[in-house]
Chains A and B, each alone.
Chain A
Amino acid sequence: MSETFAIPQVKQVQVKQAQPNLQFLRVIPGILLLAAIGYAGKLLEQNVGKYAKFHHWIFPNIEYVLWAILLGLAISNTVGVPAIFRAGVATYEFWLKVGIVLLGARFLLGDVLKLGGVSLALVAIEITGAIAFMTLLGRLFHLKPKLTTLLAVGSAVCGVSAIIATQGAIDADEEDSSFAIAAILALGALALFTFPLIGHALHLSDHAYGLWAGLAVDNTAEASAAGALYSDAAGKLAVLAKTTRNAMIGFVVLAYAIYWAGRGQAKTVKNKAAFLWQKFPKFVLGFLLISVLATYHFFSKDQVTALANLSRWAFLLTFAGVGLRTNFREMRKQGLRPFAVGAIGEVVIAVFTLGLVIGAQKIWGW
């Protein structure tokens, strides 16, 4: 059962999408599972610390984010996720986007423009550097050119969805897409555990760490989780930086589509504006709109608090889903070379973006 969860799961959901009426019912068990795991994570955060303190044990304070991910990982990698829950578990990305849009209420427009402007500059440097490096690495390891393109887009822009969007645009093989997705997901899972440790070891501020997580971790769910594992403030900034990166997806995919069409290996893009709109993540607009409304006091202070709490609940379901959909056995099956290229690339990008953030930190004095 566990073997089906990383990539084949997507195919199952696609089939279910064809029956919208039934799909609504099919997602309920999985959503309840996400909620149960997320809530269990929250209870563990509250009670394990108290229990350890009561018994005079030295036990680190583990946040609900990590508990939810660990519980999900434990289920996914032991008993597996039963079929009845899979369609609902796959909605964790829907909750992620709901959470991001609602998070907009916690950002005033001025902050978004200021932080987004800094993020945008750093994102532009990160994307350029990451694509150049991954392309070079793919050539060194003799990967297929389109697989190299998928890995480059996945690590430079926004993980799995960028890979899927690019796969369609450049007519890449499904197999290449699966390789690239597996590499990005595996490395995202590793980042969840390594990034907070590195951040604490380097005594990064919440601001610097959040930006770094948003710039270096590829998949939005993992980037949000890696940020939230550090602190609430870091989580907010990680989402903002990652959202800025996501906004670039259309441009990068369009550039690659034109490149491969020029080589006669992909369809020509006829309407570039329509292509950009189609690929543009709409939740970025939702996030900005909520931020504008909050800035102009459309919501009272209590209402902003309620929206922020609702955003946390949505993220809670997301973090449970991150653990549940990560299956290490399935990832291992995808092969070593693309993973090695991805891993080397990710380490270099992580170091590169860390340097960028530390440099920016010195300039802006966060």
Chain B
Amino acid sequence: MTTTDATLDKKSEKSSPKKISWDTWAVLAAFVAALLIRFGVVKHIPW
């Protein structure tokens, strides 16, 4: 874990307990990407 995210999480804890943390957003973003690849919406990621 790292600076900004933890700080933002701390801020969100104070401002609104229901706010989704950046940590959770990162997980959601990764899963959306994984599902797009899984169901063929994105077929190839070059490197």
Contacts and interface: CB of A to CB of B under 8 A. Distances in A.
Q: Could you tell me the dominant secondary structure of chain B's interface residues?
A: helix
22 contacts: A10-B3, A13-B4, A14-B7, A17-B8, A93-B2, A93-B3, A93-B5, A94-B25, A95-B26, A97-B22, A97-B26, A98-B30, A101-B30, A101-B31, A161-B6, A219-B2, A221-B2, A290-B30, A298-B38, A305-B45, A306-B43, A309-B45
Contact of A299 (B6, B38, B42): B38
A19 B9 CA distance: 15
- Sort chain A's interface into a size bin: 35 or more
Contacts of B11: 14, 17
B27 A283 contact: yes
A313 interface: yes
B2 A310 contact: no
A164 B30 contact: no
A307 B26 contact: no
Contacts of A285: 27
B37 A164 contact: no
A12 B31 CA distance: 29
A136 B37 CA distance: 50
A40 to B, nearest CB: 16
A283 to B, nearest CB: 6
Nearest to A311: B30
Nearest to B46: A309
A105 B3 contact: no
Main secondary structure on chain A at its contact with chain B?
Answer: helix
Contact of A90 (B4, B12, B13, B43): B4
Contacts of B4: 9-10, 13, 90-91, 93
Interface in A1-26: 9-10, 13-14, 17-18
Interface string B7-47: 11011110100000111111101110110011000111111
Contact of B10 (A105, A164, A303): A164
A281 B45 CA distance: 27
Question: 9 tightest CB-CB pairs across the interface, nearest first?
Answer: A161-B1, A161-B6, A97-B26, A286-B27, A101-B30, A93-B2, A309-B45, A160-B3, A309-B47
A187 interface: no
A123 interface: no
A49 interface: no
A282 B27 contact: yes
Contacts of B30: 97-98, 101-102, 283, 286, 290
Interface in A140-161: 158-161
A278 B13 contact: yes
Given A310-B37, A310-B45, A282 B5 contact: no
Given A303-B38, A309-B47, A310-B37, A98 B26 contact: yes
A309 B25 CA distance: 20
Contact of B26 (A18, A101, A160): A101
Contacts of B47: 309, 312-313
A220 interface: yes
Most buried by B among A91, A159, A286, A289: A286
Nearest to B11: A14
